[in-house]
Amino acid sequence: MAIEAWFMQENDEDQRLPHHKNPPEYVSLDQLADLGVLYWNLDPNKYENDPDLNKIRQDRGYSYMDMLDLCPEKVENYDEKLKRFYTEHIHGDEEIRYCLKGSGYFDVRDKDYRWIRILIKAGDLIVLPAGIYHRFTLDTHNYIKLMRLFVGEPVWTAFNRPQEEHPARKGYINSTLGMPLQVS
């Protein structure tokens, strides 16, 4: 089963809605890979002893992991946190998330600064490269359980846009896209 992704219709409706264009414009795994986004589909029921997950972790150096349950009942200041996650930002390191239950959306910018919405659901492991502009929100089910993976000690520092001079952003532009972006 492959991940679902599409170009977003930008509007002021609830951020938790799919925001498909009419007609929908889907994005392939190859198109996501061209942006540096990596994807695996795993069995979320065996994450504790999954040889495929262990191989990915070993091959990519993901030595630290923790769990995150996001829902109104389990997160203090839920609306504020969701708003913060939905603010466009980059990180100095990869963002690695493995969805074990529930669902949500990662939005990433393509090379022309258009939003691509990526639906993640149970079994989806996604890696966003350091320096890619992105944001996250839950869908209308308001629940997701994520495994967060890190290389070494966990660092989760968001640098809100604009960050064109940030070393991770410059590295992303040069290595992944190989060209200057159209800044908008």
Residues annotated within a binding site for Ni(2+): 89, 91, 95, 134
**Residue 117 to residue 7: CA distance in whole angstroms:** 6
| Residue 96: CA count within 13 A, CB half-sphere | 21
Of 46, 134, 139, nearest to 98 (Cα)? 46
Which residue ranges are tagged as binding site for Fe(2+)? 89, 91, 95, 134
CB environment 97-109: b (16+ within 10 A), e (fewer): bbbbebbbbbbbb
For 178: left if phi > 0, alpha if psi spans -120 to 50, otherwise beta; the answer is left
Ranges of H-type helices in 64-163: 78-85
* Positions at the binding site: 89, 91, 95, 134
Q: Which residues of 7-29 are buried (b: 16+ CB within 10 A; e: fewer)?
A: bbbeeeeebbeebeeeeeeebee
What percent helix, strand, coil does the chain show, rounded to 5?
A: 20, 35, 45
Residue listed under structure tokens 């990596």: 38
